[in-house]
Amino acid sequence: MNDKRQAANAMWGGRFASGPDAIMEAINASIGFDKRLHRQDIEGSRAHAAMLAATGILTDKDAEAIREGLLTILSEIEAGKFAFSTALEDIHMNVESRLRELIGEAAGRLHTARSRNDQVALDFRMWVREQADAAIEGLGALMRALLAQAEAGADWVMPGFTHLQVAQPVTWGHHMLAYVEMFARDRARFVDARARMNECPLGAAALAGTSFPIDRHMTAEALGFDRPAANSLDAVADRDFALEFLSAAAICAMHLSRLAEELVIWSSAQFRFVTLSDRFSTGSSIMPQKKNPDAAELIRAKIGRIMGAMVGLFTVMKGLPLAYSKDMQEDKEQVFDAADSLALALAAMTGMVADMSANREVLEAAAATGFSTATDLADWLVRVAGLPFREAHHVTGRLVAMAEEKGCDLADLSLAEMQSVHDAIDESVYDVLGVHNSVASRTSFGGTAPEQVRAQIARWKEALS
């Protein structure tokens, strides 16, 4: 047996007479990815050692040696000087083995009253908690960038779409605020998820708790948790916190993808609604005129990775009996990838939104196309001429058909032409057929009128301050 296998066997104890097969070692090892948890692992071990000393389970001398040794290991890892070993399986055993080299026998006392089961549950939960915090912060930055766009164009008119067909005029500010609302809900989901995950599993040990007189409230408080997890079985078996993070991330990525899709469309030569900065665009190797919205396209694709991670972890967890099973080693890689993808997508979208320029004249010209004020005409027929809405809808449809046949807009029809369809129409109808008049009239709460848009901007600026 080589030294690495001897080390692994020593970690497992006396139950095994020989080391693992090379294939078993390869499938069993997680150090290739869980070394990412080194900071959380060391922080948790320091809190555990301090608690063991405070409760008299560990001497102050051993606790101090452990504390200093762990700090040395942390500095070695962060300096890139730590030699990770696949034979030692995971981050926990790699740290413990190095601690033994540094301080000797005292290192073996660190694992008193805990198991790798509650240790990994702690490390992973702390890491996911940090990612939730990062998502909350990233979403706040994106919302502020969208608010800046909304404030700049609170009264700029643009076409609102349904089925990607021109529907009614809206304001640029109103459109930007729609995404503020979406991302605010995403932010709230991460806040809610963080509150639920903030229970400390440390001290649950393998699954049943421990007979040592530990103080779980002490370690929970030291590590920033609201409370210790109340059931030891649940504490080591739970991966809800990761599933909820992935669920919130998938919804957020979907919203990012929708905005990215609009930026791809809007920046095209056919639309020209926005100009993206060079910082978030690329060129073509063969077509010198091209300016491609690659950042938006890559954000649009990130939903596939993030949703795939969510489905992957649900599939891992769906059939597992309590408490811990080795299947749960497969819980981390997809979460790591999803968190990285989300953070990058949020940062890129924030940069694009902050840098992009909306083309006001193009937006306004487009707002007037496609008979976008037809609903305003129908509303006028109800409000002023007294028609039932269904009749007004029919009359407006006939007028749209007339304008389409003549190749003009509704506002270009003469009064006589309009009266040939319904004699209750008078000159005041032209007051509602301009796009600016249209948006100004939508004063209901949450509507697109500039006064409503500015009120919502003020509300969100205060909320985000």
Cross-strand partners of 168: 160
DSSP 21: P
Specify the 3-state DSSP secondary structure of 163.
Answer: coil
163 is catalytic: yes
- Can you read off the two tokens belonging to residue 389? 């809405």
Alpha carbons 168 and 159: distance in angstroms, whole number = 6
Residues counted in the chain: 465
Residues 213, 53: contact at Cβ < 8 Å? Answer: no
What secondary structure letter does DSSP report for 289? T
Alpha carbons 285 and 288: distance in angstroms, whole number: 7
Could you tell me whether strands 199-200 and 227-228 are parallel, antiparallel, or unpaired per DSSP bridges?
Answer: parallel
Residue located via tokens 């009120």: 455
Torsion of CA 145, 147, 153, 157, to 10 degrees: 110
Choose among 223, 203, 355, 207: nearest CA to 276. 355
Which residue is catalytic, options 163, 285, 414, 444?
Answer: 163
**Which residues sit opposite 358 in a β-bridge?**
274
Q: Return the residue matching tokens 């606790």.
A: 63
| Residue in 110, 106, 101 with CA at minimum distance from that of residue 82 | 101
* DSSP three-state, residue 318: coil
Q: How many CB atoms lie within 10 A of CB 447?
A: 16
Using an 8 Å Cβ cutoff, are 85 and 94 in contact? yes
Q: Which is the catalytic residue, given 75, 268, 277, 284?
A: 284
Instruction: Give the position of tokens 């809900």.
Output: 185
Query: From CA 324, how far away is CA 321, in angstroms rounded?
Result: 8
Q: Is the peptide bond before 323 cis (omega within 30 degrees of 0)?
A: yes
DSSP per-residue letters across 419-460 = HTT-TT--GGGGGGSSHHHHHHH--STT-SSHHHHHHHHHHH
Question: Is 226:216 a contact under the CB 8 Å cutoff?
Answer: no
Provide the H-helix boundaries in 368-430.
374-383, 389-406, 415-419
Answer yes or no: 38 catalytic.
no
297-313 exposure pattern, b = at least 16 Cβ within 10 A, e = fewer? eebbebbebbbebbebb
Q: How far apart are CA 152 and CA 150, in angstroms?
A: 5
User: Catalytic residue positions?
Assistant: 163, 284
